Amino acid sequence: MKLIVCPLLLIACLSIGHAYTFTSSEGAKFDGELIRVRSDSVRVKRASDNTEFTLNKSRFSSEDQQYFEAWAETNRDMPNGRRLRAIIADKYSQNSLYIGGTTGWKKREKGTGDIIDREFSYVTPENDFKQATAHPKPGVWDWELGDKWIEHCAEINQVVRLHGPISPQCSVWAMEDHRTAEELEQNLIEYMTAQCQRYDAYEHVKWMDVVNETITTKGRWFGPKPGTDKWENPWTIIGYDLSHPLMPPLYIKMAFEIATQHAPNTKLIINQHGGMEDMMWLTVKDLVIYLREQGLRVDGIGWQAHVDTGFENVPYNIERLHELINWAHSNELSFHITEMNAWLGGEQKDYEAQAATFAAILEALLEHRLNGEISWNVWNITDGLAWIKNRDKEGTLFDANGEAKPAYYAVQEVLENPPPPRAPLASTPDF
């Protein structure tokens, strides 16, 4: 693989961890990876035995030296240590742990694309599969951005989480107060069916957030509000299942019916915001049981984990997180931290405290790595391109310039040196 290859392959081989065939100035060849470039030397890892060594650039062919220069320019802001996805591939079993990141397709060109490609084993496209983008109103469709993600992630071997749930993240059309139950039901059926049928066939589409933010932190069903400018959930207008004591909104059952039928190859997830509130998670668990009693498939639960720095300093929080993961695995559910941020308040930002919060939550998750599938995903990649409402809270792993913060290195350290795994559960714990 040299600089005369096609542009897509060239871009791929410029990333850390990508295989390359080196050629010495005498013509000898060996396969390996480029680890570091200095002014007069390079450090490489030989593929045959994973040995790392440093050599003078002059010992390589002129073509390799051009490759070194291009590589150094591409990776000039690279964090120290190994990339997160390289650690995962090396230290963890293939199907037990996934580390992901979230950005939007249009943000990729502003720097988040390079970071998410090199660091993460899976991707949650931010808004590009949501109803407001793909199906903003009846008869209007736009899958362009979603299709680009599917194609790109296949090329670089990343798993995709479809984040296009039936949820408050809906179109303005759906939030308009005059919408009827019949109109909303038809819109839901059209969108969810099309999403499932379009993407279920792709092997690297692993999960689908079927519903999102359905329950308040007090354990009640989240519903509509007047107007179209507030955080609301219009789908409850469709009605409730009054035959069941839980009285769940009908839209949830409808969404899972469609996903169960039309997405047989994709794992179906309930994604939930909030903290470790007891009543909220009790309702989530009751909802899982209700859906399964209806003959529908629920494969996992997700926690968004938009938390304040210092979350772990309340012992109850980490204790309840462990209990929730135990419950999920005991009931044959995967567990996902789907949207983590650690918010920083005030003008004086304590980046070390933020790093401790990221580390503590990831450590708690990793303790369960032998008992079932787990995943961890940071919401947004850089502070400069994060959700504008909380951008000043700097809740991501990379600063506005794309440079790694202490939180990144805390995540890297936990992955390199994980806590001891918990023993397999003997029975379903009480919650």
Per-residue pLDDT tens over the stretch 367-385? 999 999 999 999 999 999 9
pLDDT for residue 17:
56
* CA gap 257, 85 in Å, rounded: 34
Q: Which residues contact 289 (CB under 8 A, 6 or more apart)?
A: none
Residue 410: Cβ within 10 Å count: 23
Residue 49 carries which side chain, given as an amino acid letter? D
Choice between 338 and 38, residue whose per-residue pLDDT is larger? 338
pLDDT for residue 14:
56
Per-residue pLDDT tens over the stretch 201-227? 999 999 999 999 999 999 999 999 999
Relative to beta strand 97-103, strand 374-378 is parallel
Residue 291 carries which side chain, given as an amino acid letter? L
Residue 161: Cβ within 10 Å count: 27
* CA gap 334, 90 in Å, rounded: 22
Q: Which residue has the tokens 């039928």?
A: 261
* CA gap 121, 123 in Å, rounded: 7
SS3 category, 179: coil
Taking 50 as the threshold, does the pLDDT of residue 295 lie above it?
yes
Spans of all domains in the chain: 7-74, 84-416
Going through 344-407 in order, the beta strands assigned E by DSSP cover 374-378
Work out the mean pLDDT of the chain and round it to a whole number. Answer: 92
Going through 248-400 in order, the beta strands assigned E by DSSP cover 267-272, 300-303, 306-308, 334-343, 374-378
Question: Which CATH code fits 7-74?
Answer: 2.30.30.700
Instruction: Please say whether the structural domain 84-416 has been given the CATH code 1.10.10.200.
Output: no
Question: What are 200's two structure tokens?
Answer: 């279920």
In angstroms, the first-to-last Cα distance of the chain is 55
Residue 240 has phi, psi (to 5 degrees) of -130, 155
Q: Which residues contact 370 (CB under 8 A, 6 or more apart)?
A: 96, 421, 422, 424
Helix (H), strand (E) at residue 35: strand 29-37
Residue 159 has phi, psi (to 5 degrees) of -85, 150
